[in-house]
């Protein structure tokens, strides 16, 4: 599933080509991906509008239009945005037509992706937690988010209301980097462990952005190329492979119905 590094990569690689472009039309090939408003209102309010800015909040990609409206896209489990002048790629569910003959194809094999057109972005993003790469996300803020939470740490990191943008892959990688077991109770971490985890979250996310995101399944960059972050994973999707630190096998366990990868030697359960 596209997480913060993948959405940030899409934003960075789309922006130079689409900022200042006019949306001439949008074709919805899968109507149910439109969350709001009604199709009639959507087409009326988006046609002819200029893309003034492109931003990201958590896993949301936000096209800020000159009308004051914002087109918000969530790629969910399997979405990608492909910028092209060619015919629609396989699994195209929506097409954003831009002037000069360029199109943005919203490809989504599993049909979970969502599109919204809103006046106030906060109506969709207001419940999101802090951005983990911003300076305001400190170890002290992380400590506050973990305080009094008895649930497994891995599950807490996936809660978008606590920290925005971290998903399954990067939670696994951050916990491995911090050498913390994913089953630990979130409120059980020491101050040193919280500092290690805070550092690991930022490190893992920044490295993944540098490597253009992870193409584990359906993620493609706007130009159609894959990301490289998955080739640097230490534990995520590495079940049965040998840990690069200790040489023992990487394990996969379910935590709150999500598959979690970790090294039981490097990330031991606390006594």
User: For this structure, is 258 an active site residue?
Assistant: yes
User: For this structure, is 270 an active site residue?
Assistant: no
Question: Which residue in 130, 230, 128, 220 sits closest to 173, CA to CA?
Answer: 230
In DSSP terms, 107 is beta-bridged to 80, 92
Please give the Cα distance from 113 to 109 (Å, whole number).
9
Under 8 Å between Cβ of 160 and 76: no
- Give the position of tokens 């993944």: 208
Helix residue spans in 179-269 (DSSP H):
191-210
Rg, the chain, Cα only: 20
| Cα three-residue angle 216-219-220, rounded to 5 degrees | 125
Question: Which residue in 181, 179, 212 sits closest to 196, CA to CA?
Answer: 179
* Percent of the chain as helix, strand, coil, to the nearest 5: 30, 25, 45
Choice among 59, 114, 145, 221 that is catalytic: 59
User: For this structure, is 59 an active site residue?
Assistant: yes
Choice among 2, 130, 152, 222 that is catalytic: 2
Please give the Cα distance from 226 to 188 (Å, whole number).
38
Choice among 110, 228, 258, 264 that is catalytic: 258
Please give the Cα distance from 105 to 194 (Å, whole number).
41
Please give the Cα distance from 88 to 102 (Å, whole number).
12
| DSSP strands (E only) in 58-160 | 60-65, 70-74, 80-84, 92-98, 103-107, 114-118
Catalytic residue annotation: 2-3, 59, 258
């Amino acid at each position: 599933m596209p997480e913060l590094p993948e959405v940030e990569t899409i934003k960075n690689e789309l922006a130079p080509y689409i900022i200042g472009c006019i949306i001439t039309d949008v074709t919805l090939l899968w109507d149910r991906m439109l969350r709001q408003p009604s199709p009639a209102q959507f087409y009326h309010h988006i046609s002819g509008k200029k893309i003034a800015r492109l931003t990201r909040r958590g896993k949301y990609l936000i096209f800020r239009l000159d009308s004051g409206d914002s087109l918000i896209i969530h790629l969910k489990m399997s979405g990608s945005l492909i910028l092209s002048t060619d015919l629609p790629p396989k699994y195209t569910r929506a097409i954003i037509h831009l002037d000069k003959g360029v199109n943005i194809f919203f490809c989504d094999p599993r049909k979970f992706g969502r599109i919204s057109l809103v006046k106030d972005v906060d109506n969709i993003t207001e419940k999101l937690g802090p951005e983990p790469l911003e300076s305001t996300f400190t170890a002290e803020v992380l400590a506050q988010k973990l305080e009094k939470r008895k649930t497994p740490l891995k599950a807490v990191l996936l809660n978008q209301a606590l920290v925005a943008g971290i998903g399954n892959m990067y939670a696994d990688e951050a916990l491995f980097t911090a050498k913390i077991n994913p089953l630990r109770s979130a409120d059980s971490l020491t101050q040193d462990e919280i500092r290690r985890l805070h550092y690991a979250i930022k490190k893992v996310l920044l490295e993944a952005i540098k490597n253009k995101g992870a193409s584990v399944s359906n993620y493609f960059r706007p130009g159609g190329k894959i990301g490289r972050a998955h080739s640097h994973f230490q534990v995520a999707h590495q079940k049965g492979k040998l840990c690069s630190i200790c040489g023992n096998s990487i394990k996969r366990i379910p935590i709150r119905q999500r598959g979690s990868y970790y090294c039981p030697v490097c990330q031991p359960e606390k006594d």
